[in-house]
Amino acid sequence: MNGLVDIATMVLVSMGAVLFLAGALGLLRFPDTLSRLHAVSKADNLGLGLIVMGLLPQAESVSGGLKLICVWLLAQISAATASQLLARKIHRDEGRS
Amino acid sequence: MTSVHATTPSGFLLVLAVILPVCAVLAIVACGPRSAARIAMTTLAAGLAVAIAIAMELVAGGTALSYVVGGWQPPLGIALRADGLSGAMIVMTALVLGAVGLFARSQYALHDGGGAGRAQTTFWILLLALASALNATFVGEDLFNLYVALELLTFAAVPLVCLDGRAETVKAALRYLLFALLGSLLYLLGTGLIYGQYGTLDLLALSQLSREDPALSAALALMIVGLLAKAALFPLHLWLPPAHAGAPAPASAVLSALVIKAPVFLILRLVLDVAPPQAAAVAGQMLAVLGAVSILFCSVMALRQARLKLMIAYSTVAQIGYLFIVFPLAAGSADLPPWSTIAWTGGALQLISHALAKSAMFLAAGVVYEAFGHDRIADLRGFGRVLPISAAAFGLAGLSLMGIPPSGGFVAKCLLLTAAVAEGYPWLAATILAGGLLAGGYVFRVIDKALANPAAPIVVQRAVPRRLEIVALALAAAAVMLGFLPLRPFEFLQIGRSGVSMAGLP
Amino acid sequence: MTAVLQPGVLFGLCGAVLVGIGLFAIVTHPALLRRIVGCNILGAGIFLVFGAVARRGAGAGLDADPVPQALVITGIVVAFSASALAVALLKRLSELSVGEGRAAEPAAPRSET
Amino acid sequence: MMVLLDLALAAWLLALALHVVMERNERSAIIAFLALGLLLGLVWVRLAAPDVALTEIAIGGGGTGILLLRAEAALRGRGKHEEGATRGGKLAVAAGCAVISAGLGFAVLALASPAPTLAPAASDAIAATGLGNPVTAVLLAYRALDTLLEKVVVLLALVGIWSLAPDGIWGGAPEVAPAAVPGPLAWLARILPPFGVVIGVYMFWVGADAPGGTFQAGTVLAAMWLLVIMAGLLPPPDAASPALRLVLVGGPALFLAIAFLGFIVADGFLAYPEGFAKPLIVAIEAALTLSVAAALAMLVAGPARKAPAR
C-alpha cells in the first residue's frame, strides 16, 4: 500500500517537474512577451498543482496537507494577479506604440 | 573556558549607560518634536552622572566593572565590562555630548511657530542614539554585540551628516554610509570566522584562547581593515572630509570628536586582547606606517584647504594617525605590560585631548559660519575682533593639536615622542615632530587671519549668542587643562587591564 | 574530498565566493544602486559563512548550532535597514541634483552649519 | 543524491550572483537578485536553518528586492554614477577579489575540527525559558540585548529616512500607490490580506516552538499592509500620526519595560523571572511583531511626499 502511494507521489511530482521545465523552456524560447507569459503561467500552475497533489499523501497530518493546499492556492492567486498585471502593461505599451 | 564574567555590584551602571539614551530615543519618537530638546538634555545630564559614577566606582574599587546581561554567562550570553580606558572614554563621551547638547540647544530647540521641527527632532534622536552606541562600544565584551553597536553608530551618524538636506551633504552621507557598511560587513565576516574557530565571541575568553592560526589571522585582518574604513585612516579616509565638513557644526563636533574613536578603540582591543603576539606585532607595524602617512599627508591637505571646516576635517584624519603609531610603541615587554607603557598613556591622552580640542574647533567654526554665512578662510580677515571668544577657543584648541605646552596634546605628543625615541623608532619620532609643525602651519593660518587688520570693517551678518562661544571655549580650555597632568603612566588607565591575559605580549 | 561536499563546508566556500563577487561589484560598478546590490551580495556571502559554521556545529540533538543562526537573522534585518537608508539617500540625491519631481523644492531654509 | 542537489544549488547560486553583477540592464539585475534571495532560502534549508530561510526569503530577498525595484523605477536613467573602473582596473580588482575569496575559502576549510559549538549549551539552557525553538531562545533570552539594540537600529534607519523629507512636509505621508491602481492589484489587495494576516499571526505564534518568529511574521504583515496601501484601499499613514508612532515604539518599549522589570523580580536587566519566561517572551514578541511590521513597511515606503494633515 505504502509502495503504491510512493509511486503515485513520484509519478505526479515528476510530471510536475517536467511541466515546470516546459514552462521554463517556453519562457526562454517563445518570441513575444505575451506568449512567454502564457507558457509560464499555464505550465507553472499545472506543474505546482501536480506537485502538491503528489505530496499530499506524504503529509504527516491533516493540517500539514491543508498547508500544502494553501500554498497552492496562494501561488495561484498571486500568479494570476501577476500575469494579469504584466499582460495589462504589455497591452498598454503596445497600444501606445 | 576559564574566564568567567561576574556581575560586580555597580555593574548595572554599564546597562544604564547604554540603555538610558535608548529610552529617551523611544520617548522622543513617541512624543514628537515638542519635548525633544528637554528630554534629550535631561538624558545627557543623567548620562554624565552615570559616567561620573562609573569613573568613581572604578577609582574606588580599583577593578573593572562587569555585568552579565540577563544572567546568561558568555559564551552563550553577553557580558558588559568597563576597565579604566573604557571609563575614560565614557566620561569623555558624556562631557563632549553634554557640551554639544548645550551648544545645539539654541539651534535645535523648537521655537514657537517655527518650522515643522524636522531637523530639531531628528538631531536630538540621533544625538542620543550616538550616546548609546558609543557607550555600547566602550563597554561591549561580545564581538557580535559590538557589531550591533557599530551599526547603531552608523545609523545615528549618517543622517546627522545630511541634516540640512543640501545635495552635497546628501552625497557625502551616502558615501559615508557605503564606506561604513563595507567596514561593518568586513568586521562581521571576521566575527563569523572567530566563532567558527573558537566557539565564543567573548573578548575575555578569546584573550585566553587565541593562538596563531590561519582562520584567526584572516579574521583579524578583515576586522581591522573594516574598522579602518570606519576610522578613516589613510587611504580609507576619502569619505571623511566632505561628511564632517558638510554636517551642521554640533554634528561635526560629535562626528569628529567621538564617532571615529569607537572603531579606533575596537582596533586597540582586537590587537591588544585578541591577536596573538606575532600577529599583534605585524599588525602594529602596519598600522603605524598607515598612521604616519595619515599624519603627514592629511596635515598637508589641511594646509591647502580654502574652507575652515574642510581644514578641520582633514586635521581630524591627521590627528587620528597619532592613535595608530601607538601600536608598536606600546608593545610593552615581558615585565612591562602595554598598559603600563608611557605610549599607552600618551595614546589615551591624545584620544581624549583630540576629542575635546576638535569638538571645540568645530563648534567655534560653526559660530564663525553662523556669523558670517561662509567659512572661506581667505575672507575671514579680522574675525577675532568680532568673535574674540571663538577665536580664543580656536587658538586654545589649536595648541592641543600642535602639541604646544600647556595642553593635553602636548603631554600626549611628548609621551609618544619619548616612547618613539626610547623604543628605537626614529622615523616615528620624526613624523610626530613634522606633524606638530604642519599642525602649527594650519592653525596659525587661521589665527593669523583672526588677528589681522580687516581691509574693510568686518560685518557680522547674524548675531550669535555668547553662550555658544562659551561652550566652545570651555571645551578648548578642558583640552588645555589636560596638559597639567603629570608626565607619567596614568594609573586610572590601567584599572582592570591586568585581569586580561597577556595575549598581546611577546 | 567528501569532506568538502558536506553542506557545512560546501556552502561556506560558496559564501567565500559570494564575498568576492559582492566586493567586485562594490568597487567597480559605476551605478550606486548596483553598489548597494553588491553590498547585499557581500552580506549574503557573509551570512552563508555563518550558516556553514552553524551547520558544522550540529550537536546535542540539534541539526545546527542555533547561535550563529540567530546572529544571521539579526544581521539580515540590519542589512535590510541599511539598504533602505542607502536607497532613500540615493533617491533624495537624484531628486536634488536633477531638480525635478514633486518633492524637490530645495530643502527649505537650511538649518545652518 | 543530496550531494548532487547541493552541488547544483551551489553552482546555480554562484552563476546567478555573477549574472546579477555582470548584467547591464539595471532592472534585470535586480530581478535576478530577487531570484537569488529565493535560492538562498533553499540553501538555508540545506544548512538546517529554517528560521533563517524564512527570514532570508522574506526580508533579504523579498523586502530588499521590492526596495531596489522601487528605487530603480524612481531613478530610471538618472541614477547616480561614480566614475567606473577602466578595463585594466576591473581586471586588477577582479584578481584582488579572487584572492580574497580564495583566502577566505582557505580559512573556512581551516576552521577548527571538530567544530566548536554552543548547541549543547543552548539546548541545556532552553528549559529555563520554556521555549521550544532554540533560535528564538537565542534571540530573546540569551542574546536579547542584541535583539533590543537591533530594534533601535531599525527605528533609527526609519528616523534617518524620514529626515530626508523636505522641511515643509516632514511628518507627512509617503507616496506608495500609483496614480491609477490597476484592477488586478486592487483585487489581490482584497483577497490576499486576510490570508496574509492569518499566516503572519501563525508565524509569530509558532515561533516560540517551531521555525518562525517576529521578523518573519512582521515582514508578512508589512507586506500585506503595503499591498493594501499600494492598491489605494487605505491611505498611507502620516509619519507624525500618534497611532503609527505608538505602534513603532510599542514593541521596543515593552521589551525595555520587561528588561527593567528583571532588576526587581529576577536576576537583573533582561532576566526573566522563573516560570514566567515564556509568557513574557511571547508578549514581547507580539508587540515586536507589530512594531517590526510597521517599521519595515515604512522603510520601504520612504520619506514623506505630502505635508501632514494637521
- Min Cα separation C4/chain D (Å): 8
Same domain, D170 and D297: yes
| B168/C contact by beta carbon, under 8 A | no
Report the domain count for chain D: 2
What is the rounded CA–CA span in Å between residue D272 and residue D278?
9
| Chain D contact set for C91 (CB, 8 A) | 71, 74-75, 302
User: Is there a contact between C26 and B192 if contact means CB atoms under 8 Å apart?
Assistant: no
What is the rounded CA–CA span in Å between residue B172 and residue C96?
13
What separation in angstroms does the CA of B197 have from each of A60, B212, B215?
39, 11, 7
For residue range D62-114, list pLDDT tens digits in order: 899 999 999 998 888 666 667 667 888 889 999 999 999 999 999 999 888 88
For residue range D8-18, list pLDDT tens digits in order: 999 999 999 99
Given pLDDT bands bounded at 50, 70 and 90, which one contains residue B505?
very low
pLDDT of residue C104: 39
Looking at the predicted structure, is the pLDDT value of residue D267 above 90? no
pTM for the model stands at 0.93
Q: What is the mean pLDDT of residues B222-251?
A: 92
User: Is there a contact between D160 and B158 if contact means CB atoms under 8 Å apart?
Assistant: yes
What is the rounded CA–CA span in Å between residue C111 and residue D167?
10
Q: What is the mean pLDDT of residues B485-491?
A: 67
- Min Cα separation D178/chain A (Å): 13
| Chain D contact set for B219 (CB, 8 A) | 107
Looking at the predicted structure, is the pLDDT value of residue C105 above 60? no
For residue range A26-68, list pLDDT tens digits in order: 888 888 878 888 888 888 888 899 999 999 988 888 888 898 8
Nearest to D173 by CA among B125, C103, B28: C103
Looking at the predicted structure, is the pLDDT value of residue C6 above 90? no
- Min Cα separation C46/chain D (Å): 10
Radius of gyration (Cα) for chain C, nearest Å? 20
Looking at the predicted structure, is the pLDDT value of residue B144 above 50? yes
| Chain D contact set for A78 (CB, 8 A) | 188, 192
Cα angle A62, A67, A73; round to 5: 130
Domains of chain B, residue spans: 12-494
The answer to whether residue D237 sits within a structural domain is yes
Average pLDDT over all residues of chain B = 89
What is the rounded CA–CA span in Å between residue B115 and residue B108?
11
pLDDT of residue C54: 94
pLDDT of residue B356: 94
For residue range B455-477, list pLDDT tens digits in order: 777 777 888 888 888 999 999 99
pLDDT of residue C100: 44
The answer to whether residue D97 sits within a structural domain is no
- Min Cα separation C99/chain D (Å): 11
Given pLDDT bands bounded at 50, 70 and 90, which one contains residue C112?
very low
B357-366, C86-95, D75-84: least confidently modelled range = D75-84
What is the rounded CA–CA span in Å between residue B28 and residue B22?
10
Grid cell in block for residue B497: 587591564
Residue C96 has its nearest CB partner, among B148, B167, B309, at: B167
Q: Cβ contacts of residue D271 below 8 Å, gap of 6+? A: B70, B71, D262
Count of B-D CB contacts under 8 Å: 177
Fold (CATH) for C7-98: Helix Hairpins (1.10.287)
| Chain B contact set for D308 (CB, 8 A) | 116
Looking at the predicted structure, is the pLDDT value of residue B506 above 70? no
pLDDT of residue C107: 40
Looking at the predicted structure, is the pLDDT value of residue D24 above 90? no
pLDDT of residue C102: 41
Give the percent of chain B with pLDDT over 70: 94
Looking at the predicted structure, is the pLDDT value of residue B60 above 60? yes
pLDDT of residue D284: 93
For residue range D121-176, list pLDDT tens digits in order: 988 888 888 888 999 999 999 999 999 999 999 999 999 999 999 888 888 889 88
Q: What residue numbers bound the domain in which D149 lies?
A: 130-310
